[in-house]
Structures are given as structure tokens and as C-alpha cells.
Amino acid sequence: MNSMNKEQQEAIDATEGPVLIVAGAGAGKTRVITHRILNLIKKGTPPHSILAITFTNKAAKEMRERVEILLKEDKDLNLPISMSEKPFVSTFHALGVHIIKENAALVGLTRHFTIFDRSDSKRAVKEAMEQGSVDPKKFDPGIILNLISRAKGEGINQAAYLDSAKDYMQELTANVWEKYEAILQKEKALDFDDLLLKTAQILGKYEPIRKHYSDVWKYIHVDEYQDTNRVQYKIVKYLSESHHNICVVGDADQNIYSWRGATMENMINFEKDYPEATVIVLEKNYRSTKNILAAANAVIEKNLLRKKKTLYTDNDRGDKLSLMVSYTETDEARNIADTARLLIDSGTAPQDIAVLYRTNFQSRVLEESFIRKNIPYQLVGVRFFERKEIKDVLSYIKAALNKDSWGDINRIINVPARGIGKVTVAKIASNREDLLPPAMKIKIAEFWKLLGDIAKEIKEKKPSETVKFVIEETGISKMLRKEGDSDAEERLLNIQELVSVATQYDHLPPEEGIETLLSNAALATDQDDLQKNIDAVKLMTVHASKGLEFDYVFIAGLEQDLFPFKHMDEENASQSEEERRLFYVALTRAKKKVFLSYTIIRTIYGAQRVNTPSEFIDDIGNELIEEQVPEKPTGAKALFIDF
């Protein structure tokens, strides 16, 4: 703690009452939160009375590990202390799972309720549409799910949404939502948004329960507060209402999730909610060079909706930002790959390089160039827990715990093939199993017995042993070995990796370990696969890069209407400011150098488009940029531009 700057130390020492920490990018906010937790414990606060909430499993895991190290290494800690007792460090959604499981009966569930991931929810919405005679080809289930999700994030239920519907699309969504909720109830399941909404409803409706948790967690920390939505805001308000010992940390300049309901107003209005609040601003950056910060400050100061601050650093001036101009996206990808190859050949580890882009479609041509140059890369966004074979194994476990989880049963009842078709499953689901032929009844009985055997393993064995049991006893392992091709080999390696993942929960009681594994799998984010520290260049959207840092960062596709992105609806000031914040986030991921890249021509939706460089490039002073002249275009004899 002696190495903290004045503002950091002030934040660590401000342990009582409401505290707002405005922490710029790279200002050491995680370090401040963890040392603040240590300081509370050194002052005599029991570790179990401290709650810290963040947004991703990766951030929660990092914070948890840092706190444990600080507690072990601090020589001034007032021993004896039970080191088995730890602060509760969690994501918002995992906190919701914890509270709902402890009060499941109040919302008509058991501890073993199923958590729908995004694909489960889309499947259920599509089923709800079909029940309501709504054509999924005419109306995108994903868009309807987004509308439902956004409403839930604002604390609106289906009935209220229907009452306030302003147009046909909202009325249609409300009707689909009603059937979607019926499917969730039938399968004893909650979706991501329910994990927060039901938690807020429990805390809001039942005062003794609200008081219980407020008494349990007397000191509350919330990371990335600018990304909270209306329901998350309510949860935090309920938990802190009896003591007001709430410390929120965030940066309005990094609010980039308004499309999923995040509102920076929660942070901007903190002092209205808590007039007695202490406000501390962390402006010293420990990550980036002076040139990178000068560029970032120049970009973000144009936004009006923000708490004013200017990042500074004691780091070196550093290199100027390089501006890479290419003729086409193919040339851009080749130039980025060539530059990455030069960095690697000069001693930079591949994992210290990131290529960021605004939209997912940009990754394809980048991947092709990295493959041609034989550069190891990792495409962030292909989630481990979303792979088919992983979901199959986990669905067996979920179905064993919750026999009403028809989404999971439907998924695995014929994996491996057992000759059980959709008509049979429909009869079972509608309690008409007695109408099945004798031979089919035997197959179904064997399937139910298999689920029963898995349920027994869950209660008695370590999570890793249960996963092994499922892989072998269901026949999934045998099926993949029999297929024998390279794709099957990779899937086999993936399910073996799942056993390794499960060992992380072997220290818990068997059933609790499996429940925690299932919860973490359902709540996994794009960043979670990065925990494996694969030594490869990272390719990802700017959104996925939030909270990460790299020595060298390429920002591809800096063209007007791509970044900043042109929204389909009429552009407004709020969207424009969010695009600028997104670019600010991209810049501040870099420690040593930033490469800005745009193309003169880009093919989008099969048509070539002549581009104007992004307005963001103009926001950065010429003295901070060095331009690289484009090489001759490849792959075409001539370019024909129709004006």
C-alpha cells in the first residue's frame, strides 16, 4: 500500500459510507478495490461481511485471487484469522444464482433450476413463436429475444410491456413473451435476465430477506458501475439500504453497453442517490504511453455526457500512433499480419498483440492472412461452453438434476443415436408415454435410468468424476472415437478438456461443485477462454476487449459508417457518443503502440464501397500520428469506382 498514489490511498482508506471512485482506464482500479478489501479486514471486518460484484467470470476470478494473495502475504494482518473465510466475490449473475437458490421456493423453483443460455433462449422463443403462429422466417427470434431482454433489464414484466406496447412489433413481442414465459416455467428454467430480475423481485418483495442479505454483506463493492442496468441498480440499492456502505467504481467514458440496457445515469446520479458520498477521481494511468493517452484524451473530450477527467502518466512518451492505409480489406489484413509478423520476429510474444474491430464479419479476412503468414491466433468469441459436444455433456447433467428441462432432454435423448425421434419425444413431453410401442418404451426406460445413474453420481462423486462418467456411460466418447476424423478428434479433446475444467470444482461438496460448474458454464463470456493463456495474437471485437490490455493494438476498419458504426435507425447524439467511447476503449487497451487502419475500398454485403476515413482519426492531432503509405493493391488488375 506504500506504493499507492494519493488518490488511490484515499479510496482505500474511505471505508465507511457511500464512495464513488471515478477510475480512468489503466488507473489501477482492481488494485484499489482489492487493497480496500484488505484494509477493511485489517480494521476488523469479518471477510464474509464483504461483497464485491463485477461483470465477468474472468474479472471475478482475478479479483478473488488477488484478495487471497493479499490476505496471505500481509504481515500486519491481525492474526489469528480463519483463512477459510473469504469475501464474496462474484459476477452480478452468479450473485443472482446464489440468492435465488437460497430462496427458490419463493419463485416456484427448486435449487436445481436450469439456466438458459442465449441459444436455449432463442430455441424457446422460436418455439413460442410457432405456438402463436408467428413465422420465424418473417420475424427474427433473435430480435424478439433482444426486445424481451431489454425490457427485463429495465425491470418491466410481460404484462406491463403489453400494456405499454406502442406498435405491432411490441404487441407481437409481448404475445410471444407470454408463451416464452410458459416454456420457462414448464422447464423450471430461468434465462440470463431472470437471474437479475427474480433477484430484484425477491429483495424488493420480502423485507426480511432483504434485511438478511443487507446484514450479511455490510460492505459492498461494485466494479464497472457505469455498465449496470436498471435491475442491477435496484439489487445494489436493496443490499446497501440499511448501512449505505457501498463503494462503486467505474468510468462513464467506458460505458459501451447501452444496447443491452446499461445506463451511465446510475453512475452520474450516484451523488443524488447518496448526497453524503465521497467522490475520488483516479486519473493516473499505469498502462499506456504519453502519446497513446494524448490521443485517447483528445478523442473522449468531445463527448458531453461524462464526468470530466484527463488521464496522465509517468510512462515514456512512446511511439507515435501508426496510420495504416490499405486499398482493400484483403490488403489491410495482409498489412496487419505482416506488421504482426515483424513484431513477433523482433521478440514480441504473440499473446501481447491484439487486433480489434467493430463488427464480427471483419474477422474472416484477418484469419485468412494470419493462416497464410503462419501466425498463431485466437479468435475470441468462439466460446468453449457453446461447442456442441460440451453442451451435450452438460445437458445430460442438467437433465439428471431437472427432469422438467425439456430443452436439454430433447437435445440429448438421441445423442448418441438411440432411434428415438421427435414424435416420440413429443408424446413423452405431453404425458402420452403409454401410447408408445413396447420396444420404444424399453428405450425410454433405459434413458431415464441413465439419467438416474448420473443423478446418483452427482450426489456422491467429485464433479470431474461425474463428467467422466457422463462421457463414457452415455456413449459420447465411443461415438466420437468411432467417427475417427479430425473434427471428431478435436471434439474428443474438447470433452476431455471439460474434465480438466471440472477438477476446479472438486474441492467443493459433490452436488455444490456440479451446480457451480453448470452456473459458470451458463454465464461464461467471450473472455473466459483467454484464461488458458494461449500464446497467440488475439482477434476480437472492441466490445470483447473491455478490461484487457496488450503491448500492441491494431484497430482495423476505421472508416466512416463502420467505426463509428452507422446504425439502421436514425443516428442520435447518444449513439454517436457511445461509438466515441468505444474507440476510446480500443485506444486504451494498448501499452506501447497503436496501429490505426482503414481501407480505401471495402466489400460489404457483396458490394464494393468507397470509404471516408473515420472522423475519429481527425480527432487525434497530426503530431501524434505517422502515416504509412499504402502498397500496391493485390488480387486485382484494376479498381473501377462508379461515382
Task: Kindly list the catalytic residues.
Answer: 29-30, 223-224, 254, 589
- Say if CB 477 and CB 438 are below 8 A apart: no
Helix (H) or strand (E) holding 198: helix 192-205
| Contact assessment for residue 633 and residue 327, using Cβ atoms and an 8 Å cutoff | yes
Nearest alpha-carbon partner for 433 in 417, 413, 415, 416: 413
Residues 28/285, Cβ–Cβ less than 8 Å: no
Q: Positive or negative, the Cα torsion across 280, 286, 290, 291?
A: negative
Query: Measured between alpha carbons, how far is 96 from 523 in angstroms, rounded to an integer?
Result: 11
Three-class SS state of 539: strand
Instruction: In whole angstroms, give the CA distance from residue 54 to residue 93.
Output: 9
CA 313 to chain CA mean position, Å: 29
CA quadruple 353, 359, 360, 363: dihedral sign: negative
Query: What is the bridge-based pairing of β-strands 601-604 and 607-610?
Result: antiparallel
C-alpha cell at 237: 440499492
As a whole number of angstroms, the distance between CA 515 and CA 458 comes to 9
Residues 402 and 188 sit within 8 Å (Cβ to Cβ): yes
Residues sharing a CB contact under 8 Å with residue 253, sequence separation 6 or more, in sequence order: 24, 25, 300, 303, 306, 309, 581, 584
Crossing angle of helices 329-345/363-372, nearest 10°?
50
Distance CA 111, CA 433 (A): 27
**Residues 304, 578: Cα–Cα separation, whole Å:** 11
Give the closest residue to 408 by CA, choosing from 422, 388, 392: 392
Q: Look up cell 468510468; give the residue.
A: 251
The answer to whether residues 267 and 21 touch, using CB atoms and an 8 Å cutoff, is no
Name the DSSP letter for residue 559.
B
C-alpha cell at 327: 486499398
Q: How far apart are CA 583 and CA 356, in angstroms?
A: 10
**Residue partners of 68: CB distance under 8 A and separation at least 6:** 86
Joined together, the cell numbers standing for residue 255 give 460505458
- Ordered DSSP codes for 570-617: ---HHHHHHHHHHHHHHHTTEEEEEEEEEESEEEETTEEEE-PBPHHH
Cell of 24: 480512468
Find where cell 408467428 sits.
134
- DSSP state, 320? P
Tell me how far apart the alpha carbons of residues 360 and 307 are, in angstroms, rounded to a whole number: 31
Backbone angles phi, psi at 403, to 5 degrees: -70, -10
Instruction: List the beta strands (DSSP E) in 457-589.
Output: 537-541, 550-555
